Amino acid sequence: MEIVTLDHFARCVGEGFDIDMGTGSLVFTLTEARPLPERGFTGMRRSPFSLLFRSESKVLLPQKIYRLKNAALGILDIFLVPVARDKDGIIYQAIFN
């Protein structure tokens, strides 16, 4: 997939994404896919959007590019940033602009 859009992910809210950890994997659930304000830069190939993933693991992963696998979208390399922690796990965000 050359360029992903909000529509690709919006259909996958509530689905699991396997995160390749090298020696195993974790499952993150896509909990939100929402548009971001457009700035109207010349040459934009897609409208900006944000994704939120929830991990039930208590282990905090550092921000970096992770290889994610989803049944509908296949394999994607996405830069994830931990943005919140609660009693149910950790929330990670990805921004596409």
Q: What is the pLDDT of residues 42-92, one digit of tens each?
A: 666 778 899 999 999 988 999 999 999 999 999 999 999 999 999 999 999
**pLDDT for residue 21:** 85
Q: Which residue has the tokens 């996958």?
A: 12
1 or 25, higher pLDDT:
25
Could you say which DSSP state residue 40 is in? -
Q: What is the pLDDT, as a whole number, of residue 35? A: 95
The dihedral built from the CA positions of residue 39, 43, 46 and 49, taken in this order, carries a sign that is negative
* Average pLDDT value for residue range 7-13: 95
Tokens found for residue 21: 């950890």
Q: What mean pLDDT do residues 5-27 have?
A: 92
| Encoded amino acid at 96, one letter | F
Reported as half-sphere exposure (CB side, CA atoms, 13 A), residue 65 has a value of 5
pLDDT band for position 1 (cuts 50, 70, 90): low
Q: Are 70 and 53 in contact (CB under 8 A)?
A: no
d(CA 56, CA 17) in angstroms, rounded, equals 12
Residue 40 has a pLDDT of 65
Q: What is the arithmetic mean of pLDDT over 8-31?
A: 93
